[in-house]
């Protein structure tokens, strides 16, 4: 496992769609989701709203495929797609991830 993709969306319907599509393509071993409060600037206005944060565990080689999938199915004009390199992972979790994605 090389990357964790952080991604937000505004509703559970879009979150479920993204999760379903990513699992169908075999790009992730695990997705976590949580309701968060986001504050950001959009078109010169401060926005404060609830969002759903999705955290996908993927292989680094699949980043471009993941990005393409998110851009295709996301409801935002400019979706957040942040890849965080994972440097430290327990051996047992790494093994599970590799076996799950058959890499």
pTM over 0.85: yes
Q: Per-residue confidence at 103, pLDDT binned at 50, 70, 90?
A: low
**Which residues touch 19 (CB under 8 Å, ≥6 apart)?**
31, 33, 54
Q: What is the mean pLDDT of the chain?
A: 94
Sheet with 82-85: list strands edge to edge. Answer: 30-42, 45-58, 3-9, 82-85
Residue 26 DSSP label: T
Q: How many domains are there within the chain?
A: 1
Give the domain extent around 50. 3-101
The pairing of strands 45-58 and 30-42 is antiparallel
The tens digit of pLDDT for each residue in 47-81 reads: 999 999 999 999 999 999 999 999 999 999 999 99
Is the model more confident about 99 or about 54? 54
CA distance 61 to 54: 19
Q: Per-residue confidence at 2, pLDDT binned at 50, 70, 90?
A: confident
The tens digit of pLDDT for each residue in 12-50 reads: 999 999 999 999 999 999 999 999 999 999 999 999 999
Domain holding 21: CATH number? Answer: 3.30.70.120
């Amino acid at each position: 496992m090389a990357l964790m993709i952080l991604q937000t969306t505004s509703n559970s319907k879009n979150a479920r769609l993204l999760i379903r599509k990513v699992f169908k393509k075999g790009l992730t071993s695990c997705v976590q989701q949580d309701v968060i409060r986001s504050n950001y600037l959009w078109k010169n206005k401060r926005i404060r709203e609830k969002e759903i944060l999705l955290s996908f565990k993927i292989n680094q080689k699949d980043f471009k495929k993941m990005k393409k999938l998110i851009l295709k199915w996301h409801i935002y004009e400019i979706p957040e797609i942040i890849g965080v390199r994972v440097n430290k992972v327990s051996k047992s979790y790494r093994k599970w991830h590799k076996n799950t994605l058959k890499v």
